[in-house]
């Protein structure tokens, strides 16, 4: 099917502003999606500003509650806003919650050192949890209540449906009526109901993804993010399809398909439900390097093939510190999502994240997120190019070590260094 351009299917409110820092002023006017890249002041340093504007939506900081248990009902989402999270993505909803039946236990942890040791640091987390099992009407009422109480805060609805155009259209229409600010489309849940073409079953099939994105973006009137699965060879392929089909942003990554482990006493897999288990989604600190690689690849694709200032990228995977978040932003992410980290450390984690990210920004004299967003992308290249670069560097070092070419090159001031340049050991 033909790809649907964003201009064909959505109406946007233009947002443009000027940014100014220090005596050396730099004015830049940008499109409505992304804020300004501002040169850090060379003489004075203001308090770092964590605020971001993404797809026309302003957030006080880039930290977003990722879809899952931390956004499962009104009480916890209200708590997230009160603690200061930049935005909240609710747990994924669908039309018929009666089909969703969860089991307990549904989580398993991996600890550093000997697995199973109660003293080891938690580095991995597996879940076999499904999407929201609460009635859609209940979730819709809570969305509406939250937007009434927090009209200036960003609430994003995560949605997922079966392979049915009418169902997608109905779900979008009903959720939009609550006043939510954007959609995140769950094309990436690795477990649950793939037999009904839901979750990763769509995200792993580019033809199917293009068709469903077309349905969604023809109906939606608010920004749409496509949440990508890492359980695929090349994550840039579905990301490219989603953007070409009208989505305004990409979120990556969802959890990685995994088996947490086998209990060597009982010989049963974890998490163990009545003696049995099923593969689930892996998250937490151990997935962070994998997530960085996926986000880097998506960001490079967006930069080379799209106007990356007109689209957004939300980084997800193992974020527990401000430094973790800074890495995603350095690779091009506009926002950073946290889900498992909140389950482990609580909603107050956002204060630590903000403080640590500000410390990083101060250390480099960055005044805004845009000062350093994507700054590290240019340092990724091919292995062939690495070889060429290193060979050239070796040649240059050898040239320096050769020392003086002629007696006329000796100088009185640099005599000792000139002598050393011709010593072999």
Catalytic residue numbers?
Answer: 189
**Count of other CB atoms within 10 angstroms of residue 27:** 9
Tokens encoding 234: 């090349």
**Count of other CB atoms within 10 angstroms of residue 411:** 10
Location of structure tokens 């971001």: 52
What distance in Å separates the CA atoms of residue 101 and residue 107, rounded to the nearest whole number?
15
Task: Locate all alpha helices (DSSP H) within 265-335, ordered by sequence.
Answer: 288-305, 322-330
Length of the chain: 425
DSSP code for 32: S
**Count of other CB atoms within 10 angstroms of residue 112:** 14
User: Which residues face 158 on adjacent strands?
Assistant: 184
Q: Helix 206-219 to helix 236-244 angle, to the nearest 10 degrees?
A: 30
Determine whether 405 is exposed, middle or buried from the number of CB atoms within 10 Å of its CB (0-12, 13-18, 19+).
Answer: exposed
Do 160 and 171 contact (CB within 8 A), yes or no? no
**CB neighbour burial string for 195-232, b if at least 16 within 10 angstroms, e if fewer:** eeebbbbbbbbbebbbbbbbbbbbbbebbbbbbbbbbb
């Amino acid at each position: 099917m033909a790809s649907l351009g964003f201009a064909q299917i959505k109406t946007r409110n233009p947002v443009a502003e000027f940014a100014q820092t220090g005596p050396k002023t730099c004015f830049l006017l940008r499109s409505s999606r992304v804020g300004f890249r501002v040169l850090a002041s060379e003489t004075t340093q203001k308090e770092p500003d964590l605020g971001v504007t993404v797809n026309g939506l302003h957030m006080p900081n880039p930290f977003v509650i990722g879809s899952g248990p931390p956004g499962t009902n009104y009480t916890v989402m209200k708590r997230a806003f009160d603690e200061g999270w930049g935005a909240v993505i609710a747990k994924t909803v669908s039309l018929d919650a009666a089909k969703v039946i969860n089991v307990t236990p549904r989580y398993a942890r991996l600890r550093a050192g000997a697995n199973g040791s109660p003293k080891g640091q938690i580095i991995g987390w597996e879940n076999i949890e499904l999407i929201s099992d609460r009635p859609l009407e209940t979730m819709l009422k809570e969305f509406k209540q939250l937007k009434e109480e927090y009209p200036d805060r960003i609430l994003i609805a995560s949605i997922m449906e079966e392979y049915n155009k009418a169902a997608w259209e109905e779900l979008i229409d009903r959720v939009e009526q609550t006043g939510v600010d954007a959609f995140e489309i769950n094309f990436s849940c690795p477990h649950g109901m793939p037999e009904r073409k839901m979750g990763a079953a769509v995200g792993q099939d580019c033809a199917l993804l293009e068709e469903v994105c077309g349905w969604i973006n023809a109906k939606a009137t608010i920004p749409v993010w496509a949440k990508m699965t890492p359980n695929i060879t090349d994550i840039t392929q579905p990301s490219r399809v989603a953007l070409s089909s009208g989505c305004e942003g990409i979120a990556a990554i969802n959890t990685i398909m995994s088996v947490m482990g086998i209990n060597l006493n009982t010989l049963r897999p974890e998490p163990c439900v009545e003696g049995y288990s099923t593969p689930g989604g892996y998250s937490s600190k151990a997935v962070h390097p994998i997530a960085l690689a996926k986000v880097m690849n998506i960001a490079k694709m967006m930069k080379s093939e799209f106007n990356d200032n007109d689209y957004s990228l939300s980084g997800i995977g193992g974020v527990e510190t401000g430094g973790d978040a800074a890495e995603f932003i350095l690779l091009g992410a506009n926002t950073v999502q946290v889900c498992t980290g909140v389950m482990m450390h609580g909603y107050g984690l956002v204060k630590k994240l903000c403080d640590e990210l500000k410390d990083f920004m101060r250390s480099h004299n960055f005044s805004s997120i845009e000062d350093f967003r994507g700054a590290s992308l240019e340092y990724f290249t091919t292995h062939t190019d690495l070889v060429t670069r290193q060979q050239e560097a070796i040649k240059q070092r050898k040239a320096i070590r050769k020392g003086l070419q002629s007696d006329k090159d000796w100088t009185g001031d640099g005599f000792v260094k000139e002598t050393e340049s011709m010593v072999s050991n």
